[in-house]
Structure 1
Amino acid sequence: MDKPATRDAALLFLRAVLGFVFIAHGWQKIAIDGMDETIGAFSAMHVPQPKLSAYITMVAELACGGLLVVGFLTTIAAAVLTLVMAGALYFVHLDSGVFVGTGGFEYVLVLIAALIMVIVFGSGRVSIDGALTR
């Protein structure tokens, strides 16, 4: 495989995995836990404006996760999710140490790093964005 094809395949894989993870978390908030429980959890974690924050987070995870999977408005979607994850890092995980088992920030930090890679390198050619820019 040539380098551009390898890069495009890696970006497709990264986008698909990130999109899947964010869609799963958004779906969990609305359909598995329910928004009342999600709002309660946000409130217990002292997230500001827990109702508004829970709905914004759920919509961002579902919508932007889907945009990442198909590669449309990719850098915008990744930037929005980076802001959501920065909020989660600051308001929820930062004071709990490193490890995810204790509520720490390692997982959120990896998600932020992966999203920044998408922002920097874009969606690649195997995407709606790639098709529209050719």
Structure 2
Amino acid sequence: MRVVILTPNKRLLDLSGVTELYLPIENGVIGVLPGHAPMVSAVGTGVVIYTLNDSSGFFKVAGGVAEITGGSVNLLVDVGEEASQIDFDRAQKSLERAQGRLSDKASENIDVKRAEAARLRALARLEAAELYRGKNSQDKKSV
């Protein structure tokens, strides 16, 4: 099937021949195989995982809309980032900042929803980066 990931600023992915796809939706994760029933869903914050030619790819996404047909998946996301481009240390610091804001919420006037959204985005970035790192270490071991 064809998978396209678009942000308002650029096309992140446009691949044909994808054999499976997992994407975050508002209430969990959905798996999509070729021939999937048509549907439209809100995209949550998390990691998109796809398989093409027995190799996996990973993207961090947050917000947007997924359109699924039998032969294609179009993800129109607010924010997206390829896992190979994620700075792991920066994502870890973002998570620490968000967790710090949440733990200090009694002493400060902070926007709890915004801090929680930042925490979820940082967790998704870290998860995508770890999946990418793990895939690359597996590839190096098999060479």
TM > 0.5? no
> Which structure exhibits the higher relative contact order, with contacts defined as CA atoms closer than 8 Å and separated by 6 or more residues?
1
Structure 1 or 2: larger helix share?
1
Structure 1 or 2: larger strand share?
2
TM-score by length of 2: 0.32
